């Protein structure tokens, strides 16, 4: 399994950067996880929309979904030669909330995407790969994701305040991609780097990668704070970085 960082900024993009978005290559499958501003263009460097087995939106804050309507528009204009609609998973009512049902062309006849709604504990069975959604605490319906196959497990916190559900998501994960959306002592919506490290350590996650830092945050400070509580190496997600999951750290 491999993780490709398409975007990692929290809240808004920095110069030449993108908001949250990730490509997970799991066996023969390619999964688009979150679709913040700027991530579609970066995704297309690695694969076509034809190649995707599905897309997942963890919640409806705009820094996690704004490129999905553009991807749907691209599909409607024939940018990908898909034989089946693209499955797109998200919170309840996501399609209407992001304006996805708009009829992009008067001659449209067949749907180009398949809207699916997430719920706590729901597992998408993709054959050799399973994607589990776990509800977390972020002030609106939000789902962390746990993606597993025979030899690798990837956990993604989405955006969340500290909660027990994150331990379930990250338990014994080979790589835990965890948000650190605040540098404050506490927040009702986000983790800080120290809390991300605490959760990763308590869950037994083998590797910790921080993401969703604000563009103004110091990556070096975030690493230092997370490492103090995690007790091992910590990295910060940056655009175009790639991580092998289930393999020994480089």
pLDDT at 66 over 80: yes
Closest C-alpha to 225, from 196, 189, 187, 190: 196
Rounded CA gap, 39 and 98, in Å?
16
String of DSSP letters for 196-250 = HHHHHHHHT-S-EEEE-B-TTS-HHHHHHHHHHHH-S-EEE--TT-EEESSSPP-
Domains and CATH numbers, the chain: 2-99+112-244 (3.60.15.10)
Q: Are 137 and 160 in contact (CB under 8 A)?
A: yes
- Could you read off the pLDDT of 21-51 as tens digits, one per residue? 999 999 999 999 999 999 999 999 999 999 9
Residue 159 has phi, psi (to 5 degrees) of -105, 135
Tell me which of 4-8, 100-104, 202-206, 213-217 is least confident: 100-104
Note the maximum CA span of the chain.
Answer: 58
Q: Cα–Cα–Cα angle for 134, 139, 145, nearest 5°? A: 20
pLDDT digits (tens, 9 = 90+) for 141-174: 999 999 999 999 999 999 999 999 999 999 999 9
> What does the pLDDT read at residue 105?
57
User: Which strands make up the sheet holding 52-56, listed edge to edge?
Assistant: 113-117, 86-90, 52-56, 29-35, 21-26, 2-7, 242-244
């Amino acid at each position: 399994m491999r993780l490709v960082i398409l975007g990692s900024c929290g809240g808004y993009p920095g110069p030449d950067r993108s908001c949250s978005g990730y490509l997970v290559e799991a066996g023969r499958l390619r999964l688009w996880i979150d679709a913040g501003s700027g991530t579609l263009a970066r995704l297309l460097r690695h694969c076509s929309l034809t190649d995707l087995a599905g897309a997942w939106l963890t919640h409806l804050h705009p820094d996690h979904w704004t490129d999905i309507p553009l991807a749907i528009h691209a599909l409607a204009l024939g940018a990908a030669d898909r034989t089946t609609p693209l499955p797109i998973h998200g919170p309840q009512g996501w399609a209407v909330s992001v304006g996805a049902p708009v009829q992009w062309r008067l001659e449209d006849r067949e749907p180009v995407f398949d809207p699916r709604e997430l719920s706590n504990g729901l597992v998408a069975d993709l054959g050799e790969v399973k994607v589990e959604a776990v509800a977390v605490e972020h002030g609106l319906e939000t789902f962390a994701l746990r993606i597993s196959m025979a030899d690798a497990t990837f956990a993604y916190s989405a955006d969340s305040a500290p909660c027990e559900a994150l331990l379930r998501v990250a338990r014994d994960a080979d790589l835990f991609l965890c948000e650190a959306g605040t540098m404050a002592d506490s927040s009702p919506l986000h983790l800080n780097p120290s809390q991300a490290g605490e959760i990763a350590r308590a869950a037994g996650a083998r590797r910790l990668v921080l993401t969703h830092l604000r563009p103004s945050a110091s990556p070096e400070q975030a690493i230092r704070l997370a490492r103090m509580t995690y007790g091992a190496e910590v990295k910060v997600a940056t655009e175009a970085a790639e991580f092998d999951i289930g393999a020994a750290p480089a």
